[in-house]
C-alpha cells in the first residue's frame, strides 16, 4: 500500500486525500471477454489507446523518477504531501496498466516491442539528461495527459461510454487521477527550476515524440487486425482526431504563455461528476 503523508509545521500528518490527491487502488480483472476493438468498435482507436497503455508503465516510472530527483528540496508541507500522493497514484497506474497490457499481450497484441522501446528511452533520459530537463519532460507529459483527461471527463464523456465496461473504468479512473495531480510536477518545477524557456522547448519535443510514436505504434499494432480497408473505421478515427485537435488546441497552446498554471483550466466540476460516477466503490489507500 502506498502511503501519502507529510508533516505540517504543527506536526499533523497530511495525507493525499487532504491535499486533493487521494491514492486509490483499482485492481480489475482483464478477461478475454473484452472485445478486440474495445473502443467504439474501432480498430485504429483501440490500437492507439492500447499502444498508449503499453507506454504508460515505463512513462509513469520516469515521471516518478524525475520528481524524486527534487523531492528532498521540497519544504512546503502541502507540496510534499502532493508529491508523495502523485508518486502513489502513478505507481498504481503503472501496476494497473501492466495488468491490462499483460492481458492484451496474451491475446496477441504485440505490446512487448513498445514496452522495450519505452524502457530504452527511459534509460537514455536518465543517462543523458539533467534532472531539470527530466522534470521538464514530466511536466510536459503531464500537460498532455491532463488535456486528454479533460477531453474524456469534461469535453466528451460520451466517448468513455463507448468503451467496453472494464476499459471505461480504468480510463475514467486514470483520467480522474491525472486531473487531480495535474499541477503537482508543474509546481515542483516552478518552485525548484523555474526556467520557462526550457519547459517550452521540452514541450515541443515531447509533443512531437508522443504523437508520432503513438501513431506509428498504433499503425504497427493494426498489422493483424484485418481492418486496413475498413473505410468507416478510418473516417471515424479521423473525426475523433479532428475533434481532439479542435477542442484541445487552445488549452494546449496556453502552456506556452508566460504565466501559465494547469489549474487555469478549472475542470473541477467535471472532476467531481466523474468521481461520483466512476469511483463510488473504490478504496482510498492514502
Ligand atoms: Fe498516470
Ligand atoms: Fe500523471
1 vs 100 pLDDT, higher one: 100
Whether pTM > 0.85 for this model: the answer is yes
DSSP bridge pairs for 216: none
Distance CA 272, CA 153 (A): 10
Task: For residue range 148-157, list pLDDT tens digits in order.
Answer: 999 999 999 9
pLDDT of residue 27: 86
What pLDDT does 161 receive?
94
Whole-number pLDDT of residue 7: 53
Q: E strands along 20-133, which residues?
A: 24-25
pLDDT tens track for 73-95 = 999 999 999 999 999 999 999 99
CA of 258 to the centre of ligand 1 (A): 26
Give the pLDDT of residue 5: 46
In 3D, which of 188, 192, 1, 210 has the Cα closest to residue 89? 1
Mark the residues whose beta carbon lies below 5 A from ion ligand 2.
Answer: 178
Residue 146 Cα to ligand 1 midpoint, Å, equals 10
List, in sequence order, the alpha helices (H) in 107-230.
Answer: 112-128, 131-150, 157-160, 165-180, 184-192, 196-221
Closest CA to 138 of 127, 148, 149, 146: 146
Tens digits of residue pLDDT in 5-57:
455 555 468 999 999 999 999 889 998 888 989 999 999 999 999 999 999 99
Whether 66 and 135 have beta carbons less than 8 Å apart is answered as yes
- Separation of 141 CA from ligand 1 center, angstroms? 10
User: Band of the pLDDT at 224, cuts 50, 70, 90?
Assistant: confident
Query: In this structure, how many other beta carbons lie within 10 angstroms of the beta carbon of residue 208?
Result: 10
What does the DSSP 8-state code read for residue 151? I
pLDDT band per the 50, 70, 90 thresholds, residue 283: low
Question: What is the C-alpha separation between 156 and 271, in angstroms, rounded?
Answer: 13
Instruction: Give the ligand at the shortest distance from the Cα of 185.
Output: 2
Cα 97 to middle of ligand 1, angstroms: 9
Return d(Cα 137, Cα 134) in angstroms, integer.
5
Grid coordinates given for 104: 492484451
Q: Note the pLDDT of residue 4.
A: 41
Ligand 1 centre to CA of 153 (Å) is 15
- What residue ranges do the domains of the chain occupy? 44-281
Q: How many whole angstroms from 175 Cα to the centroid of ligand 2?
A: 9
Query: Grid cell 466512476 — which residue?
Result: 278
Provide the percentage of residues in the chain whose pLDDT is more than 70: 94
Rounded to the nearest angstrom, the distance between the alpha carbon of 107 and the centre of ligand 2 is: 28
Q: Which ligand sits nearest to residue 179's alpha carbon?
A: 2
Amino acid at each position: 500500500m502506498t502511503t501519502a503523508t507529510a508533516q505540517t509545521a504543527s506536526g499533523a500528518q497530511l495525507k493525499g486525500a487532504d491535499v486533493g490527491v487521494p491514492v486509490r487502488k483499482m485492481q480489475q480483472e482483464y478477461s478475454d471477454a473484452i472485445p478486440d476493438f474495445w473502443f467504439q468498435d474501432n480498430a485504429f482507436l483501440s490500437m492507439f489507446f492500447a499502444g498508449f497503455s503499453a507506454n504508460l508503465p515505463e512513462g509513469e516510472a520516469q515521471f516518478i523518477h524525475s520528481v524524486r530527483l527534487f523531492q528532498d528540496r521540497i519544504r512546503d508541507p502541502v507540496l510534499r504531501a502532493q508529491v508523495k500522493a502523485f508518486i502513489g497514484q502513478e505507481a498504481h497506474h503503472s501496476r494497473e496498466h501492466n495488468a491490462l497490457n499483460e492481458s492484451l499481450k496474451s491475446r496477441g497484441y504485440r505490446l512487448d516491442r513498445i514496452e522495450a522501446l519505452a524502457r530504452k528511452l527511459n534509460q537514455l533520459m536518465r543517462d543523458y539528461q539533467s534532472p531539470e530537463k527530466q522534470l521538464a519532460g514530466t511536466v510536459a507529459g503531464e500537460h498532455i495527459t491532463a488535456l486528454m483527461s479533460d477531453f474524456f471527463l469534461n469535453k466528451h464523456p460520451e466517448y468513455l461510454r463507448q468503451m467496453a465496461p472494464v476499459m471505461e473504468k480504468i480510463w475514467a479512473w486514470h483520467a480522474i487521477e491525472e486531473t487531480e495531480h495535474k499541477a503537482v510536477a508543474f509546481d515542483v518545477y516552478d518552485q525548484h527550476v523555474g526556467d520557462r524557456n526550457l519547459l517550452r522547448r521540452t514541450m515541443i519535443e515531447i509533443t512531437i515524440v508522443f504523437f508520432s510514436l503513438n501513431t506509428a505504434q498504433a499503425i504497427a499494432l493494426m498489422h493483424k487486425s484485418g481492418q486496413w480497408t475498413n473505410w468507416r473505421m478510418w473516417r471515424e478515427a479521423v473525426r475523433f482526431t479532428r475533434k481532439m485537435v479542435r477542442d484541445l488546441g487552445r488549452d494546449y497552446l496556453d502552456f506556452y504563455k508566460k504565466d501559465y498554471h494547469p489549474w487555469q483550466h478549472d475542470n473541477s466540476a467535471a472532476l467531481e461528476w466523474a468521481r461520483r460516477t466512476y469511483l463510488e466503490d473504490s478504496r482510498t489507500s492514502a
